[in-house]
Structure 1
């Protein structure tokens, strides 16, 4: 019970923070705003975070919450490639409509400069567990190539998504992330299908 309450408190703080960052900008959002919006206390806030900047590393948590929601809506009849396309499209639509480009750029910059923990690469994240599950099932059903280990497929796909995000930030959002990924991700994923399933 305590563990659940702890997770809920931290989760409420993170969710409120990113909602406010998007609505009123990072610089204009105060710790007091976050505490008020999350219906928590300053003591709770500083128990989990040493300041507003510490929240920049929690965007991975927001992504993982979205993946947990998407897991409930995955079509069980869809093959592994179809599931990955769906997850990519829905997450990128959420990013494009709910995470400011400035904040995403800031997060990716901190990950490049971080000496210790890199949140986006944390293999214990729900994101990586879900990808491993899809890749493993896909191989067993013959939907994904078997000459690559599951972890290699997961790494390749995760690198593809990060590359798209980095390029979108470098390009300062001059194109639609969702539309571009929607066109290119299916082509990329064809390379992970067994050779006999690849379209000529």
Structure 2
């Protein structure tokens, strides 16, 4: 790959700056309270630069989700090859909740859920082409082939059940007071029995 030109480097730096400032503002003020004008003012960029990199505020989330998908891939590579597929799914769920809680935060996740219900917005949470779905499906499929999971239920259906548990736990986290709802602990309470019911 040829080295980037100074112009490309500058564009990449501008995009990163806009992204970081926008996420910080969303976290502090709430997604709906932040305007594109405020993002470009605080980031000391221009509206033109913003729209070169992002079509809307919501695309900031899509960019962040690419980072999350990279995290899933990297984490999956650290799992021992001899670990059961049940354990891999449970460990991935736990790491997912820690990552979303610490790196995205409750306010941003609330905005993602609200946006998912808004017409004409990208359906990031239910997009089965995302890395998370592909990883879970792969674990389920391989688990079925090795006799770990029930094979009379399609792998796609099991994948949907597992990811529905993940979304449901995140949704409850947004509904309940944070002090009385430990996201990581509750995710393990939820996913454990589901995996057990799908196992042979």
Q: 1:12 to 1:75 in 2, by over 3 A?
A: farther
2:76 maps to 1:76 = no
Unaligned runs of 5+ in 1: 195-200
Asked whether the 8 Å contact 1:14–1:62 carries over to 2, the reply is no
Tell me what 2:110 maps to.
105
Alignment equivalent of 2:172, drawn from 151, 167, 172: 167
Tell me what 2:55 maps to.
50
Q: Give the C-alpha shift of residue 105 in structure 1.
A: 0.8
Count of aligned pairs: 188
- Matching of residues 6-155 of structure 1 within 5 Å: 9=12, 12=16, 16=20, 20-21=24-25, 24-26=28-30, 30-31=39-40, 33=42, 45-115=50-120, 117-155=122-160
SS at match of 1:191: helix
Highest Rg: 1 or 2? 2
TM-score between the two structures when normalised by the length of structure 1: 0.77
Q: Give the C-alpha shift of residue 51 in structure 1.
A: 3.9
SS at match of 1:121: coil
Unaligned runs of 5+ in 2: none
TM-score between the two structures when normalised by the length of structure 2: 0.77
Q: Quick check: 112-121 or 126-135, which moved more?
A: 112-121
Tell me what 1:181 maps to.
187
RMSD: 3.2
How far apart in 2 are the matches of 1:14 and 1:120?
A: 23
How far apart in 2 are the matches of 1:34 and 1:82?
A: 43
